[in-house]
Chains A and B, each alone.
Chain A
């Protein structure tokens, strides 16, 4: 007889499972805010001029926005994610490669808040039970005399 799952709760709840049987790029929009004259923002300006165009072609599901700020503002990369959060990285004084690294950081992230992952190797599926079930001393019959009998 196939094993029946326990009774469902009175008000059923759905749990989002990102990346299961489908994949939606978490990054929606990437904004490059830069100052046209500041000498420390030479890296960003050179990145926007050439590599950004190829990057935008390679990532068609991300919206790339370039904004020129007024004098004195810092160069910033703003990544807006599907979960509603945004990651903001200042790229002042960085060279083109440094800016590229920060851009990849934003592209690879899911936008989730940074949390300690040292002790979180396996995060169980939402609203699921393990396939083999939970051990019970009363039902353990691996050796003779185990479990309980009347």
Chain B
């Protein structure tokens, strides 16, 4: 049975020495570098976890007890946490795909036809969701089950789109350029048939810059 040391810090070290596999249980020499601050080293677990970030309290200031009553209330909650140019995101539907966009992002899509001159803007009309860090306004369309139900497989269109009502969110995309990818050489071959061909392909792309996400009532700077 090893002798019990007197001080609490040395006792912690003694217990550690057993786990480290040291031959002795004598108190270790004083550390050369300063130890992390520990207020009450009552148990070894609390001392070990003292340097970790504190856990979020269950009832944080940003968690809502009741949902807002009106849309303007919801908008003000989002505005309190973000500005039109930062801290806000929008999930918009473009050419049958959903994109999570922030202001100043660059979206690269296959070349959009008809080709519009660089500098022209396209507005996002099909918006599923807009939000900031802790709050978001979601629509029926952001529910995958409802969105899938509205997909008409025969006409390849949505029969109805229950997104965020128009006028609530205003976000534009600016066409930066129409480019092409580097040349791709696709080799096709069938064995023992003398069939061999090379297909050269350059995919055209349109690059778009996401503008500010303006909520209802906000003016563009």
Contacts and interface: CB of A to CB of B under 8 A. Distances in A.
A23 B115 contact: no
A121 B209 CA distance: 12
25 contacts: A3-B81, A20-B174, A23-B174, A26-B177, A108-B117, A108-B177, A109-B178, A110-B177, A110-B207, A112-B179, A115-B182, A121-B107, A121-B108, A121-B109, A122-B101, A122-B105, A122-B108, A123-B105, A123-B107, A125-B105, A131-B87, A132-B131, A139-B56, A147-B56, A148-B52
A138 B55 contact: yes
Contact of B211 (A21, A114, A122, A131): A21
B108 A114 contact: no
Interface in A4-24: 17-21, 23
Contact of B104 (A109, A112, A126, A148): A126
A21 B212 contact: yes
Interface of A: 1-3, 17-21, 23, 25-26, 104, 107-110, 112, 114-118, 120-126, 128, 130-133, 138-139, 141, 147-150
A46 to B, nearest CB: 23
Contacts of A109: 177-179
Which size class do B's interface residues fall under?
35 or more
B81 A122 contact: no
Contact of A117 (B87, B100, B205, B221): B205
B199 interface: no
B61 interface: yes
Given A18-B209, A20-B174, A23-B118, A124 B102 contact: yes
A3 B56 CA distance: 14
A20 B105 CA distance: 9
A124 to B, nearest CB: 6
B23 interface: no
Contacts of A139: 55-56
Contacts of B133: 3, 131-133
Contacts, number: 125
Interface centre among A19, A23, A141, A149 (most CB of B within 10 A): A19
B104 A125 contact: yes
Contacts of A150: 45-46, 49, 55
Given A21-B221, A25-B119, A108-B178, A131 B107 contact: no
A23 B89 CA distance: 22
Contacts of A114: 179-182
B76 interface: no
Nearest to B53: A138
A20 B211 contact: yes
Interface in B20-79: 45-46, 49, 52-53, 55-56, 58, 61-62
Contacts of A147: 55-56
B221 A112 contact: no
B152 interface: no
Nearest to A15: B104
Given A110-B207, A124-B102, 19 more contacts: A1-B61, A18-B176, A18-B209, A19-B176, A25-B119, A108-B115, A108-B118, A109-B179, A110-B176, A117-B179, A117-B203, A121-B107, A128-B102, A130-B102, A131-B82, A131-B133, A133-B133, A138-B52, A150-B45
